[in-house]
Amino acid sequence: MEIRQLEYLVTVVEEASFTRAAERVHVAQPGVSAQVRQLERELGETLLDRSGRTVRPTAAGAAVLPYARAALAAVAGVRLAVDELSGLLRGRVAAGMIISGTAASLPDLLARFHHQHPGVTITLGEANSSELLAGLASGALDLALVGLAGPPPPGIAIEVVADEPLAAAVAPDDPLADADAVTLPELAGRDLICLPRGTGARTALEQACAATGVRLRVAFEASDPRVLAQLAGRGLGVAILPASIIAAGPLRAVPLTGPGLRSQLALAWSTGAASGPAARALIAFARGAVAAGAEME
């Protein structure tokens, strides 16, 4: 019995076709078929049902598959361990970032990591913070750039990239433009322009409203802070944004006073989900970049 025979068996089952399996493993179809038949002869059982339009495992094949997959995983683990020790890190990592993080340079960090570890395949997706945290908890993501409104949920560790107050962004001719500060009750009658639910800034605002018993009216939502600023600039309401974002444009930034009206940007990862050498290397690289003061926002 050879590892390649188990690999061909698993691939044929996953593709339900000898032809597609041969294309996937880059071997001529007769070679794949011959190796699987050799395995069947060694085991004394037919592992694949070839009678239909698609190839399916027999009862014996279904019983063998978990062990075949475990053997292949063990071989991959041996290779990863050796690669890690020799510095030739390989594997796959999945990263995520907040949709509203248009200015964040997580892609730059990933590019630097890839330059050091070209054998690692990296994927990057966007979602709101609550979805990213769920992905970390489930193991679907290895690292994420998220917005937070307080401590992370259990099982999630973070490195804070930025921690700043929220502010009210208004047009220069807005009645609040010359105010030194504004409270949540003073915004109760205004149309608000906010990031969607599930984002760090929106969660901070909702928690502050719950703590003070204030009900606010959200008239506009958008995932891109620049869109929120444009809406506020056209007099459509008061945008609630991190103060640094407002400072970059022509809007007036009026400080918000109240409990917990701060927003954090943080790199996050799971402390409980299993992670391979590549994921551990990425997390360590990202933490080192933050500690060294690499620009992430």
Predicted confidence band of residue 116 (pLDDT cuts 50, 70, 90)? confident
Burial group, residue 99, by CB count within 10 angstroms (0-12, 13-18, 19+): buried
Per-domain residue ranges for the chain?
3-86, 95-297
Work out the number of other CB atoms within 10 angstroms of the CB of residue 92.
12
Q: Please report, for residues 67, 79, 287, the alpha-carbon distance to residue 241 in angstroms, rounded to integers and kept in the order given.
A: 53, 47, 26
Q: Tell whether the model's pLDDT for residue 162 goes beyond 70.
A: yes
- Rounded CA gap, 87 and 109, in Å? 19
Where is pLDDT greater, at 145 or 105? 145
Predicted confidence band of residue 267 (pLDDT cuts 50, 70, 90)? very high
Predicted confidence band of residue 273 (pLDDT cuts 50, 70, 90)? low
Nearby residues of 104 by Cβ (< 8 Å), 6 or more positions away: 97, 98, 145, 161, 265, 296, 297
Average pLDDT over residues 163-174: 90
Average pLDDT over residues 86-106: 73
For the chain, what is the mean pLDDT? 86
pLDDT recorded at residue 86: 64
Average pLDDT over residues 104-128: 86
pLDDT recorded at residue 247: 66
Tell which CATH architecture fits domain 3-86. Orthogonal Bundle (1.10)
Q: Tell whether the model's pLDDT for residue 102 goes beyond 60.
A: no
pLDDT recorded at residue 43: 93
pLDDT tens per residue, range 8-22: 999 999 999 999 999
Q: Taking the model in full, what pTM does it have?
A: 0.63
pLDDT recorded at residue 76: 77
pLDDT recorded at residue 297: 45
What CATH number labels 95-297? 3.40.190.290
SS3 content of the chain, % helix, strand, coil (to 5): 45, 25, 30
Average pLDDT over residues 93-111: 77
187 DSSP assignment: G
Where is pLDDT greater, at 89 or 175? 175
pLDDT tens per residue, range 201-260: 888 899 999 988 999 999 999 888 888 888 998 999 999 988 877 765 678 889 998 887
